[in-house]
Amino acid sequence: MGSEGQRGPAAARGPGQGDPRALRRDCQHRIFVNRSLALEKIKCFGFDMDYTLAMYKSPDYEELAFNLLLEHLVAIGYPPEILAYKYDPTFPTRGLVFDALYGNLLKVDSHGNLLVCAHGFRFLKGAEILHYYPNKFIQRDDMKRFHILNTLFNLTEAHLYACLVDFFTNCSRYVNCDTGYKHGNLFMSFRSMFQDVREAMDHVHLSGCLKEKTLENLEKYVVKDPRVPLLLSRMKEVGKVFLATNSDYTYTDAIMSYLFDFSHGDKADVPQRPWRSYFDLIVVDTRKPLFFAEGTVLRQVDTDTGKLRIGTYTGPLQHCAVYSGGSSDVVCDLLGVKGKDILYMGDHIFGDILKSKKRQGWRTFLVVPELARELQVWTEKSELFEELRSLDLFLAELYQHLDSGSSERPDISSIKRRIQGINLPKRFR
C-alpha cells in the first residue's frame, strides 16, 4: 500500500494525508465506536439529562455531594470528626467494587481478577491481599457482598467508604476486626457501614438537598455549553428528539432553562426560544431502569405548577408537553418509531445503555468523560508504554527457543526490576 504505483509518494498527497495521526481530533472531541452505525437510518435521538446534556463541574459538584453525605452521617450518629475529611478527586474512579464483608475497595477486570486493593487509603500488597482473597479473584455476581460503583454519582460514595475505613481503622476508640470494628459492646460491620452510606446517598438525592444546593449556584456546578442548542436543532432537522430523565420536572426545567439561556437561539441570528421547543417528547420521573421494563403510569405534567395531572394520559403526543413516568414502549408509541430507529445517549452503563439495548433494541451512545483523561495519560506516558512493550518483547525472545525439554531457566530479575521501576504510581486510575 505504500508503493508509488498504488498510492503515490507522501509528498504528492493532500494536506494531512502523510500521517493519519495528523487527522485525529483532540481527545476531548472524539467519538469511539464498537460497531458500525449508519446514522441516516436513525429516525429518533434520545437523551438522558444528568451527566449527558447537563454536565456537572468536577470536582466542585462531587465536593458538594460529599459534604452533604458527611453531614447526614453525623446527623444519624457517626463521629463528628469525619467532617474533617475533604473530597480528593484523584482517588476514586468509576467501576470500583466495594467488598461489604472486608471493607475493601477493589479494582477488578471483566473476569473478576483482582488488580488493585485498598483498605481505606492504604493500598494492600502481596500477602495482605492473599489474606482476604486467596485466589486474587472475586465472584462479581455475588451482589450481596460485592457492589459495583459504576456511575459518576458513585465517585463520592467510593471516596466516602475509603474515608470511613481510614477513620475507624486509625481511631484508638475502636478495635479493628476483619469484618468491621468494635467499640465496647457495640460492633459495626462493613456491611452496616455500606447500608448507612447507601441510605445517606438516597437521602441526599431524594430529599432534594443536593438539587437545592445545585440550583443555588448553577454557574459553579453546571457546565453551560453554547453548542447544545445547535446540536439539538440539527438533530431535529433529520429526526425526532426526546428527553428521558429520572429527575423531576421542577429540577429538569431549572437545569434545562439554564443550559439554553443564551441571548440567541441555536444560531447567532436566530432569537432565543424555550428549551422545550427543541424536543418532540419530554419525559421526567422515568425511574430507569424500570422505564425499560414494565415502566410506571404515564401522567401529564402541568408546566405552570410542576404538578402532575390526575389520571393516566392516553391521548396523542402534544407539542412541548411534558410527561411523567411511562415506559420505553410508550415513547416508541408516541413518537411512532421502533427500537432500532432510536439512538439513545446516557451516562449510566446499566440504567441507560444495557437495559435500553437488551430489552428494547435501542441503539446506544455511552457518555464517558473520563476517557479523555485516559487518552491524555496514554499520550503523555507513551514513552513508558513503549518501554514496557520493548521489555515484553525482550522477555519473549529469551523464552522463544525453550520447550518442555529445556533445563535452564533465563535470569529475568533485572528485567523485572526495570518493569517495576517504570510502573505508574499505584492508584485506582
Residues with catalytic function: 48, 50
Which cell numbers in the block locate residue 286? Answer: 422515568
**How far from chain centre, in Å, is Cα 22?**
30
The one-letter amino acid code at 161 reads Y
Question: Chain-centre distance of CA 344, in angstroms?
Answer: 16
Helix (H) or strand (E) holding 68: helix 60-75
Retrieve residue 170's grid coordinates.
486509625
Angle of CA points 427, 423, 59, to nearest 5°: 30
Q: What are the angstrom distances between the C-alpha of 237 and each of 43, 281, 300?
A: 10, 15, 26
CA distance 377 to 233: 35
CA-closest candidate to residue 210, choices 369, 59, 69: 69
Calpha distance 264→267 (Å, rounded): 7
Residue 236 and residue 97: Cα distance in Å, rounded?
40
- Dihedral angle sign, alpha carbons of residues 355, 356, 361, 362: negative
C-alpha–C-alpha distance, residues 169 and 174, integer Å: 7
**126: number of Cβ within 10 Å:** 7
* Cα–Cα nearest to 117, from 179, 68, 162: 162
How many Å apart are CA 340 and CA 333, to the nearest integer?
Answer: 14
**Cβ–Cβ under 8 Å, residues 193 and 179:** no
β-pair type (240-244, 44-47): parallel
Contacts of 11 (CB under 8 A, 6+ apart): 18
